[in-house]
Homo-oligomer: A and B are copies of this chain.
Amino acid sequence: MHWIKLFLPKISCRRQHRPLWQFCIQRAFSSHFPNQVTDEGIDQPSSQVEAAARRETLILRLPKGTRDFSPEQMAIREKIFSTIISCFKRHGAVTIDTPVFELKEFLSDNWGEDSKLIYDLKDHGGELLSLRYDLTVPFARYLAMNKITNLKRYHIAKVYRRDQIITTKGRYREFYQCDFDIAGKYDPMIPDAECLKIMHEILSALKIGDFLIRINDRRILDGIFTVCGLSETKVKTVCSTLDKLGKITWKEVKNEMVNEKGVCPEVADHIGEYVQLCGGVPLIEKLVQDPKLSQNKQAMEGLEDMKLLFEYLTLFDILDKISLDLSLARGLDYYSGVIYEAVLLHQDEHLNVGSIAGGGRYDGLVTSFIPNWKKVPCVGVSIGVERIFTVLERNTELMENISATETEVLVAAAQRDFLAERMKLITKLWNAGIKAEMFYKKNPKILKQLHYCEERGIPLVAIVGEEELNNGVVKLRDVPTREETNIPKEKIIEEIKRRLEK
């Protein structure tokens, strides 16, 4: 059994599901354990020996806020990505790639106060570089630099923020973003509606549970602030308090606005009358009739567009998950119109990962890179894959059934000295596109080979041996039923393909 365990990545890999601190402790005490190295053979280069000596006192660990992904975790991650990408492609999007670092000057202007979270590279005496903190700013830079006025693109890549780490909520310092954006001047709300349709399609396909998409518009929000008499300098800070509504009560939000942000209580109450409203088309109709709001040009533009957007969302048949929510503010500076985010419903309080997708319209960002050029309005959606991954990883049933390998056939031998025959047979299988493995032993035991297939869920075993060789056949074993059939050598590929199709 010991041998099989060593051989099985599945079993070995499980070990890494143990929390990291266990490894650290084990490492820290490892000098107390007897030296297990019993190695014949190859000398190590001397630099490695030195490095090893230096490391004997070190504890192996990762940078804060980063993580490795095991094969099983990667299998889930790839499933999520492939669902998302197939939706993006279904909507005609292409993909681009940009460098992981950019010139600092092109990144730091766009992130306001959060610029302190940017990872800078060491100044090696040349350029000042920073790791990208999102994919939207590089997208705008790409459009501006290449003078592209129209593009529907997706981009899935890692971004970096020196932010607070909350691993239970899927918040790391290195994480994937997964963006879809439409750049170009079009008729109002048509691309915006498609972004919401995409969000709806992806969250439905991922089967992570019931969700709600909250929508608002920066212009409506600005209009509300104006008619309520909030001073312009306080807009940003009030937005960040407002964003907590839902997680904390209106009373608490108001307290923070008044006591921490210095908003006068009457203004706060007035704002509260608006931002506690949620709904659909009837709410829009009501707001359009609102005596104060209807006097504000910006708010009215936002409301007119919102009406149109709801029409389009009805045609796209996704209104069931949509709610106009006047408290939605979203953090980023660059939004200029419609904004939205999706949240999971029925989540445990302590497991609440927050929004799992978000986005909006940002019509000024490209211009900020190339002021003397035409305007390139943009709208986009970002899928929160890390949070979705965190939610799915808690699904024990899913985790237990996930298989990291896709091997279809194990080429095995029942007797000694059949390595050459195994190699010849597996070559045929590989060349025919069949996913096949064999043991890297000259004389593996047949029971261990069969056990390996059952452990790993490999459905077929192709067995060669003395008798099979003499009769010009290969023994094909069905792992679940343990049924064995002799197949003529020249028909083995055909037969394996037939069985795999079933």
Q: Using CB atoms and an 8 Å cutoff, list the residues of chain A in contact with chain B.
A: 6-9, 12-13, 15-16, 23, 26-27, 30-31, 33, 35-39, 41-45, 47-56, 58, 60-64, 66-71, 74-75, 77-78, 89-103, 105-106, 109-110, 112, 119-124, 126-127, 129, 131, 141-142, 144-153, 158, 160, 162, 174, 182, 184-187, 190-191, 193-194, 197, 201, 219, 311-312, 315-317, 333-334, 336-337, 363-365, 367-375, 404-407, 419-420, 423-424, 427, 430, 433-437, 440-442
Contact = CB atoms under 8 A, between A and B. Distances in A.
A121 B122 contact: yes
Contact of A27 (B53, B142, B370): B370
A25 to B, nearest CB: 13
Nearest to A130: B122
Contact of A374 (B36, B51, B312): B36
A92 B7 contact: no
B369 A60 contact: yes
Contacts of A53: 371
A371 to B, nearest CB: 4
Contacts of A60: 106, 141, 144-145, 369-370
B71 A94 contact: yes
Given A44-B363, A74-B97, 7 more contacts: A6-B185, A42-B219, A47-B109, A48-B368, A51-B109, A55-B370, A62-B102
B201 A430 contact: yes
16 contacts: A9-B94, A30-B370, A36-B373, A44-B363, A48-B110, A51-B109, A51-B368, A52-B371, A92-B435, A101-B174, A120-B122, A121-B121, A187-B440, A191-B440, A312-B423, A315-B427
A375 B37 contact: yes
Contacts of A64: 126-127
A92 B437 contact: yes
A99 B336 contact: no
A148 B71 CA distance: 12
Contact of A16 (B8, B146, B436): B146
Contacts of A94: 9, 71, 74-75, 404-405
Contacts of A151: 9, 12-13, 71
* Assembly stoichiometry (copies): 2
Nearest to A365: B48
Contacts of A97: 68-69, 74, 77
B43 A336 contact: yes
A420 B363 CA distance: 25
B63 A127 contact: yes
A191 B438 CA distance: 10
Nearest to A138: B68
Contacts of A54: 109
Contacts of A66: 99, 101
Contacts of A129: 63
Most chain B Cβ neighbours within 10 Å, of A35, A38, A95: A95
A141 to B, nearest CB: 7
Nearest to A232: B46
B122 A123 contact: yes
Contact of A48 (B45, B61, B186, B333): B333
Given A12-B150, A61-B103, A146-B16, A368 B406 contact: no
A90 B430 contact: yes
Contacts of A174: 99-101
A372 B442 contact: no
A152 B421 CA distance: 23
Given A147-B15, A158-B100, A442-B187, A95 B74 contact: yes
Contacts of A424: 315
Given A12-B148, A367-B37, A440-B184, A96 B70 contact: yes
B42 A364 contact: yes
Given A92-B437, A122-B120, A152 B9 contact: yes
A94 B94 CA distance: 27
Contacts of A120: 121-122, 124
A182 B440 contact: yes
A94 B11 CA distance: 13
A119 B101 CA distance: 11
Contacts of A364: 42-45, 48
